[in-house]
Amino acid sequence: MTDISSSDPTPDSTISEGYGNQREYIDKVLPFADARQGEIHAALTQAFKKYIERREVEVIVFENMAAVELAEAIQANPIILKPLLASCNLAGRAIKRDLKIDGIDTS
């Protein structure tokens, strides 16, 4: 097992081996990601404690939205596609490869 407090930000390379699908991969890396998130949160809190404010923000709850509704929203408001892709960290190559849609500029 990799020491998550080490200076190496990437988990042990063996983590990326031995999984058959995205869910299995997520299950393997989630403990490392959660630990890292905790470390970063603590460091940011310490570094900026005098400047932290709590604010209420609106969020889009995509898990409550059907895929067809999402498609309709994008079709009706094409300007939202690029920000959605960016927030999901999806690049043009993945769209072309997985969805067979070419020519979407995500830069």
Report pLDDT for 5.
Answer: 45
- Give the CA angle between residues 100, 104, 105 to the nearest 5°: 145
pLDDT for res 9: 46
- In degrees to the nearest 10, what's the CA dihedral of 26, 28, 34, 40? -100
Q: pTM, whole model, 2 decimals? A: 0.45
pLDDT at site 31: 93
Q: What does the pLDDT read at residue 67?
A: 92
Integer Cα distance of 19 and 14 in angstroms: 10
In the predicted model, residues of the chain with pLDDT beneath 70 are: 1-18, 105-107
